[in-house]
Amino acid sequence: MADKVTRVLLVEDNPGDARLVKEMLAEAKDSSFEIEWADHLSKGLERLAGGGIDLVLLDLSLPDSHGFETFVKTHSQAGEVPIIVLSGLSDEAVAMEVVKEGAQDYLTKGRLLDGDFLAFSIRFAIERQQQLLKKLEQNKQELKAREARFSKVITNKTEGVIIADKDEVVRFINPAAEALLGRKTEELLDKPFDFPFVTGETTVLHVTHTGQTKLVEMRVSQAELDGETFYVTTLAKQSQG
């Protein structure tokens, strides 16, 4: 059975360096590579948009782009395709920055020992990217499952629940809140709430519906989700004493 061919996009403006990388990978053991070469970032981005690339070898200094911005533009276009940054300079600050922002590796051209070393780096980068994507998908599915369970609990809750963003615009309302306010979801959702949110206090609302007025207690707390602040409001009909 033939080994899988790894399709590598080499974005490098120096013909000598490009030839060296091609020769090194051609000599690598236990790996098969198909190298496509682009000598400008614009050409590399265009090729990436066409799909079918397994990994990008990226020089940061190109005729039409230079430095960290080269990585940012490539990473934006690459999507899930892993990137190994190649540089003629040993710049640890840039190395840390690109890895922090999503590069799978940073290799200095002068330290590329042989084709097997580069082939190993490529295989490792692809495997690490696949594991990362697998973990992200798993976390996404777990989050969706938790959200579904949470939504079900809130929807079926006997107390009224309203969730609003930091601008007090309603983002969720359960059926119990609709009934207490005498309003339908479409009247409230994605609109500013009628009453101010006072965190940590119980406010008594005078709600008039079908000619009758009832007293509804509103309790407000704040919650953080993904760096955003939300108001979580519970509503309950005030007991008649």
> Per-residue pLDDT tens for 140-180?
888 777 767 766 767 777 789 999 999 999 988 989 999 89
With cut-offs at 50, 70 and 90, classify the pLDDT of residue 1: very low
Q: CA–CA separation, 3 vs 112, rounded Å? A: 24
Look at residue 65 and tell me whether its pLDDT is greater than 80.
Answer: yes
Fold type of domain 5-138? Rossmann fold (3.40.50)
- CA distances in angstroms from 199 to 161, 176, 177, 240, listed in the order given: 15, 21, 18, 24
User: How is residue 208 annotated by DSSP?
Assistant: E
Q: Identify the pLDDT of residue 57.
A: 96
User: Residue 87: pLDDT above 90?
Assistant: no
pLDDT of residue 90: 64
- The CATH code of domain 157-237 reads 3.30.450.20
**DSSP class of 4:** P
Whether 2 has a pLDDT exceeding 50, the answer reads no
Report pLDDT for 139: 80
Q: List every span in the chain annotated with CATH 3.30.450.20.
A: 157-237
> By percentage, how much of the chain surpasses pLDDT 70?
94
For residue 136, give the amino acid letter. Answer: L
* Size (the chain), residues: 241
Look at residue 64 in the predicted model and tell me its pLDDT. Answer: 96
Residue-level pLDDT at 150 = 64
* Predicted local distance difference test score (pLDDT) of residue 3: 64
Sign (positive or negative) of CA dihedral 9, 84, 74, 225: positive
**Residue 241 — pLDDT band, cuts 50, 70, 90?**
low
229 conformational bin, left if phi > 0, alpha if psi -120 to 50, beta if neither: beta
3-class SS string, 105-163: EEEEHHHCCCHHHHHHHHHHHHHHHHHHHHHHHHHHHHHHHHHHHHHHHHHCCCCEEEE
Locate CATH 3.40.50.2300 in the chain. 5-138
Over residues 93-122, mean pLDDT: 86
- pLDDT on residue 141: 86
Calpha distance 25→31 (Å, rounded)? 8
DSSP, res 53:
-
Chain segment 222-234, per-residue pLDDT in tens? 988 777 889 999 9
Token digits of residue 112: 């590329």
